[in-house]
Amino acid sequence: MPNTPPPEPENPGSWDHSSHREFVDYYARQSLEPETVKRFTRVRDKAIALLAQRPENRSSLQVADIGCGAGTQSRLWAQLGHHVHGLDVNAPLIEVARQRAEDEHLDIEFAVGSATELPYADKMMDVSLLPELLEHVVDWESVLNEAARILKPGGLLFLSTTNWLCPKQDEFELPLYSWYPGFVKRKYEHLAVTTRPEIVNHAKYPAVNWFSFYSLSRYLGQRGFRCLDRFDLIDTANRNPLEKAVATMARTLPPLRFAGHLLTPGTVIFAFKQP
């Protein structure tokens, strides 16, 4: 491990694409956990349901899985016949992703590269997926701008990331880390890439950004996106009357919506790129 955090590169070729073996092994195992597969399946199914509401609904979608890791989410989309392009900065994890896709006879285009400079054309994708990535890249604005650039008008952006409002988090093995002041976070970020890599499961690029739904929806809204949070996405069709009432109140009463975000470890956003 280097003695200082890796510098933010000027181009994807200057990123360090290597990885600590313990990190690769951990994420290769974690990516196959039943809960991980369920979570990504829910994301896929919700995204497809939202896209089905578009007038130009397509049965076969162009999907960019940015920060794809070991490729679990990519495979789930490819299993339904969609054209998937997976990209990650971590070369060993991309090799895992390629091997797993080959074992399942799935045709997925995997590439090693940077989310800050995507190798895809403008308005090429129907879906941009950013799973647990934004928190790890110092230049997070470029990540969002690139994900937006490659989306077609009417395309869907999904992102999941940190939530500084909630004291529970999975990035650092430290209690209440979300609420640490900035200068304390900087100290632990330095320790994570020097003498204590175990506190971030040996991640080469540990989390350095902390968001909320409110901050990200403002940023995306200024760039022409219509954002939905987890409360907007609750399907009340098969809920009992009490659950329907709670969901309705969370959507319509800002203090209740805020309380819901306060109690939720991560931030989740589905956002449509307006025509």
Tell me the residue range of the domain where 107 lies: 12-236+266-273
pLDDT surpassing 70 at residue 180: yes
Q: What is the mean pLDDT of residues 240-248?
A: 84
The tally of domains found in the chain comes to 1
In a domain, 248, yes or no: no
In a domain, 261, yes or no: no
Look at residue 20 in the predicted model and tell me its pLDDT. 65
Look at residue 2 in the predicted model and tell me its pLDDT. 35
In a domain, 134, yes or no: yes
DSSP secondary structure string for all residues of 173-236? SSTTGGGS-HHHHHHHHHHHTTT-GGGGTT-SS-------HHHHHHHHHTTTEEEE-TTTT---
Look at residue 159 in the predicted model and tell me its pLDDT. 97
Residue 77, classified by CB atoms within 10 Å of its CB into exposed (0-12), middle (13-18) or buried (19+), is buried
In a domain, 108, yes or no: yes
What pairs with residue 226 in β-bridges? Answer: 272
Ranges of H-type helices in 56-135: 72-78, 91-103
In a domain, 62, yes or no: yes
In a domain, 114, yes or no: yes
**Could you read off the pLDDT of 102-157 as tens digits, one per residue?**
999 999 999 999 999 999 999 999 999 999 999 999 999 999 999 999 999 999 99
Residue 138, both tokens: 């110092």
Q: Length of the chain in residues, anyone?
A: 275
In a domain, 242, yes or no: no
CATH number of the CATH domain containing 209? 3.40.50.150
